[in-house]
Amino acid sequence: QKEVEQNSGPLSVPEGAIASLNCTYSDRGSQSFFWYRQYSGKSPELIMSIYSNGDKEDGRFTAQLNKASQYVSLLIRDSQPSDSATYLCALEGSGIAAGNKLTFGGGTRVLVKP
């Protein structure tokens, strides 16, 4: 079982609709979770961080965290063609050995169609 799992997609979404991305993880001790967006040929860009159970909203993005069920999700409202990218779910591992390293999921490719 992978430590962080995401559906690879592609997730095809009409322009203006809501894109819903999910991520499950296995490390129960993780406290810090992140969503990154990566365009083809570019480096990842941090779009959301979440540390507590519940929802966190930032503009068109909402992250949801449920530590008991070990999942974190990302909603993109009013999806735009410019949102077409690969979205990476990441968590900071728990314990000293983890050394603040990020563990990434394989990424979900999102395609927003005009």
Partner 1 sequence: GAVVSQHPSWVICKSGTSVKIECRSLDFQATTMFWYRQFPKQSLMLMATSNEGSKATYEQGVEKDKFLINHASLTLSTLTVTSAHPEDSSFYICSARNRLAYEQYFGPGTRLTVT
Closer Cβ to partner 1, 17 or 56, answer by number: 56
Closer Cβ to partner 1, 25 or 104, answer by number: 104
User: Measuring CA to CA, which residue among 8, 26, 22, 27 is closest to residue 111?
Assistant: 8
Closer Cβ to partner 1, 70 or 106, answer by number: 106
**Contacting residues toward partner 1, per CB under 8 A:** 32, 34, 36, 41-46, 49, 51, 88, 92, 99-102, 104, 106-107
Contact 33, 3 (CB under 8 A): no
How would DSSP label each residue in 52-66? Answer: SSEEEEETTEEEEEE
Least distance between partner 1 and beta carbon 58 (Å): 13
